Amino acid sequence: MALLQIAEPGQSTAPHQHRIAIGIDLGTTHSLVATVLSGKPKVLQDDKDRVLLPSIVHYTKDLTTFGYEAKPFMLTDPKNTVVSVKRFMGRSQADIKFQHPYTLVGAENEMPAFETAAGRKTPVEISAEILKQLKDRAEASLNNPVNGAVITVPAYFNDSQRQATKNAGQIAGLEVLRIINEPTAAALAYGLD
């Protein structure tokens, strides 16, 4: 299957320039990053050969930990350990009807912020920190800067949730090329054999 690079007239890169794009599955419990190398999709690993990054962020006053390092704090410090942040993306405080251990602040009709030891953190900021970890993993694995990213979201995400995800990508330093529904991404992956 041939992939085409489409660009606006006069804005395409020179043929010898290599631009690297990544695909990110920003998951509720785990996230991962992949790219296409020599026509084959490849999931990128961290320095310990793990492909998954638990979508967990733990805050203290002076330190932020992510993924596997943050996981033990889920039981010992749940108010400062944010898990499943995707469930809060693009939702107002009034929309959040499920139970959680967090102290949320903000107006009823706005996306809330989490009260943490490091201060108030919005779901967009927390998601951006997870995306930044994945971007850093990709750049270390590929030994090149990442030029863009495609991020998957659940098919049921509304426009506000999609925009919040895009904003998180931009805060993480990514040029968000597309926001794609997870079922669409699965269909595309299946089409790539």
Q: What would the pLDDT profile of 48-77 be if each residue is shown by its tens digit?
A: 999 999 999 999 999 999 999 999 999 999
Looking at per-residue confidence, does 7 or 175 come out higher?
A: 175
CA angle 128–138–24, rounded 5-degree value: 55
State which amino acid sits at residue 72.
P
Tokens of 155: 């098919």
Q: Output the pTM of the full model.
A: 0.87
DSSP class of 162: H
Residue 26 confidence class, pLDDT cut points 50, 70, 90: very high
Q: Tell me the per-residue pLDDT of 76-122, one tens digit each, with 9 for 90 and over.
A: 999 999 999 999 999 998 899 899 999 999 888 889 999 999 999 99
